[in-house]
A and B are shown apart, each in its own frame.
Chain A
Amino acid sequence: MSRLLSISSSETQDDAASGVRSGRRRLALAARGRRAVAWASVLFVLASMAGGLLVDLCPLRFRFPQAAFVMAHASTGAQSPTVVLMGSSRFGIGINTDRFSASLKKYSGDDRLSGYNAAIPAGDAITFNFVLTHLLEIKCHPRIAVIEISPETVNRYVPWMKFQILRQMTRMDIIKSIPDAAKSRAMDRVFTSLFFPLFRHNVQLTDWLFTDVAEAITGRPDAGMPWVFPNPKEQMGQSNETDYFKWFKRYKVAGIQPRKFEELLGLCRSNNIQPVLVGIPVSSHHRAFYTPTVEKQYMEFVVRLQREYGCAFVDYAGRLPDTMFADHHHLNEAGNEFFSDLLAGDVVRILNLHGTNEPQQTFDNPAH
């Protein structure tokens, strides 16, 4: 009996000891867990900060391949093009550089004149500033900058803010443009770009750091260039109405875009570049969004730019018929040929580029 008691008592002591041990073990594990979570948090924050820094340092060809394409094909020094065309896909698709250059030469009688299409997909004033700054850095110094402008690209709602955050803005630029991003409903991109740069910019970073691995894992983003005409899948008056409607909802000429336009014109002035603002041709379906309120604010802004920066403005918004459009606002092949020639002629005429041959082409526009 006593033996039994002693066994049971020792068992009880063992249990108690193991209970204490397991209690201690639990406490030790909890302490380890706390330290592990702390380590993970600190390392993750450090990795994200390093990632953000890498995004800002990421070379153009990985961060913004379309801009790198433009820089790579721009002539520099004495060979700099006379006219640089800065715009979005509307300019990219709408202007045939060869035709434009040929027409410049033809209408001016000056064989030295040439044009260069520096349009970028989803390009706006933020992009134009970026492109011109980089062109000047590589000693590509044009005499004339033809700049695309439209009511939607001076609005406080910036349709392409998400792209600009992704491909060109630095951490500091993003922080500065938070109010504009909020108005453009791009705060998710701001948040992820600032706090999770490794995710938001993963394609660019992996492409840069481990080109082969990146290709294998996520694929290489297509620079989207050279330009191709869009398939006329967007039926006029039907497709993307919601998107376009968003562009013009609560329209107000304010925010980052007008600021960037002014910066751009200031940059042109300080570098002796003559700016020409070009109101982009759009179809009648697209022009339906240009209400009198929109037109009034837009024109007031353009007139102010003309007055303050001495730039010319040519408006093509209603000058090309719908048959020349592939969709709402991109020209088709016929439109591209026509517009390239028309624009070259107008540039020669407006800037009086030794005009010996006046542009001959006229178009009986039903809109006028």
Chain B
Amino acid sequence: MLFHSFAFVSLFAITFAVYWAVKEHRLRMGVVVIASIVFYATWNPWLIFVLLGSTSVDFFIALKLEKTPSARRRKVLMIVSIAINLGILAFFKYGNFLIHSADSVFSMLGIPLAAPAYGIILPLGISFYTFEAISYIVEVYQGKTKAVRDWLDYLLYILFFPHLIAGPIVRPHHFLPQIKQKKTFDFDRLQFGAQLFMMGLIKKAVIADNLSIIVDPVFATPGQYGSTAIWLAVLGYSAQIYCDFSGYTDMAIGVAHTLGFKLPNNFNMPYFASNIAEFWGRWHISLSTWLRDYLYIPLGGNRQGKWKTYRNLMITMVLGGLWHGAAWTFVAWGFYHGLLLVIHRAWRKSKRRIAGLVPLSVAFTFLCTCVGWVLFRAQTFSDAWLIIKRMFKPFEGKALTANEVRITLTALGVLLVAHLIGTFVNIKKIERRLAAPILGAGLAAALVIAQLLSPEDVKAFIYFQF
């Protein structure tokens, strides 16, 4: 169920009305759990049981873990829980990928395996809720969070529909206390949530979905297009993926606010990062901090010397790439970003900082991320290579229409202005001073614009596939 679909609007309206009509706190949380189950089950009613099953296992293991005095047994329980979660993820997400990869390797060696293709359906949001479950068990193991005594509370932590499908990846110490906190209806929060939702809706329905109509054909048949079209498509995709994912996040945070929950921010003007490390501090923040805390630091982080730091960076980013999708192009994307981080670290260590050239650094970092998006978006390595070649070596070919060029450039211009405003203007301060009619008119105008300019085909969020 997409946030910008009428099905979701209907579900949310009912949930919102019942949630605030019910006075008892626990009942309210029950309403959200039921809404979350309906939200998930509308996509596939059977896979909700996978989610409920893994959630129950984690819930009981955490309770057991907390009661166990033996450090060794505690560790074993944690590992068992992580193994179950990663096992489920591996089966559903990487099953076919591993079989096909093994098949390819054996075929190259002249040993055809004729591996069967299993029709494994990828449960929506599995990558996100698996990481949330791991966070929980690790925090309980570390004693940072107390094991939840109520299964309903734990279900809500995992299933809470605004973040269920594509994050932000919430941490137990941040979210669980909110479940216990009694909610009071607040119009200020409702209008703030509505503002965020509208902003996300414009990003997604108006910018990302219109850009996808232009970008998709170029990435589908890049061989037909010339360098200018390729450049526009790559830049367009950079804008599309940002507006798509950050639009989703804005909507998720907005919806959560209307129910009295606060989700962490996931983006902070990522295309204004002046280096790749900063980019990862601004892009998909909940994932990059998760990878830092649960992978990079446990691997040793930067505490074991230069080479091991580089190794840890590479491992973290390659696995981060693989987390995005079961394809070698995602692995390559992760490897590429790991390499950029290593180069940046080496550059930084050698203290060859160029002062006063921040705009140039920003532009260079943006260019590097754009090249990365080619690996991320292309269907195959040969497509990716072809696109990168045509980006840097002029080639005549099919061009985009004048309208397509206009839309892409407009979207990029809007993105630039939004980044400038987000960086240099204190919007919150201005917003607090606005009169109610102006705020109301802004909300209504955003909804009218979103309706008028969104394409008829509602497109799924890019990150839903992960």
Contact = CB atoms under 8 A, between A and B. Distances in A.
Given A188-B6, A203-B456, A40 B187 contact: no
A36 B403 contact: no
A35 interface: yes
A315 interface: no
Chain B interface main SS type = helix
A40 B443 contact: yes
B268 to A, nearest CB: 24
A176 interface: no
Contact of A26 (B188, B435, B436, B448): B188
B186 A30 contact: yes
A36 B440 contact: yes
A40 B454 contact: no
Nearest to B456: A203
B441 interface: yes
A107 B455 CA distance: 50
B451 A198 contact: yes
B454 A33 contact: no
A197 to B, nearest CB: 9
B448 A198 contact: yes
A117 B144 CA distance: 77
Given A39-B436, A198-B448, A215-B403, A191 B187 contact: no
A367 interface: no
A311 to B, nearest CB: 38
Given A44-B448, A192-B6, A206 B453 contact: yes
A26 B445 CA distance: 26
Interface string A242-280: 000000000000000000000000000000000000000
A43 B442 CA distance: 10
Contacts of A37: 187, 190-191, 194, 440, 443
B187 A34 contact: yes
A39 B437 contact: yes
Interface stretch (A143-151, A216-224, A284-292): A216-224
B451 A36 contact: no
Nearest to A196: B451
A31 interface: yes
B192 interface: yes
A351 interface: no
B453 A33 contact: no
B436 A216 contact: no
A216 B407 contact: yes
A205 interface: yes
Nearest to A221: B456
B210 interface: yes
Contacts of A175: none
Contact of A191 (B6, B403, B451): B6
B184 to A, nearest CB: 10
A283 B447 CA distance: 47
Contacts of A206: 452-453
B191 A36 contact: yes
A38 B436 CA distance: 9
Nearest to B406: A216
B407 A32 contact: no
Contact of A33 (B6, B191, B442): B191
Nearest to B436: A35
Interface string A183-211: 00000100110001011001101100000
B452 A198 contact: yes
A30 B443 CA distance: 16
Nearest to B447: A44
A34 to B, nearest CB: 4
B75 interface: no
A36 B439 contact: yes
Given A40-B194, A206-B453, A217-B453, 17 more contacts: A30-B187, A32-B191, A32-B439, A39-B436, A41-B440, A47-B444, A196-B451, A198-B448, A198-B451, A198-B452, A199-B451, A205-B452, A216-B403, A216-B406, A216-B410, A217-B210, A218-B453
7 contacts: A33-B186, A33-B436, A44-B447, A196-B6, A198-B448, A202-B456, A219-B403
Interface of A: 26, 29-44, 47, 51, 188, 191-192, 196, 198-199, 202-203, 205-206, 215-219
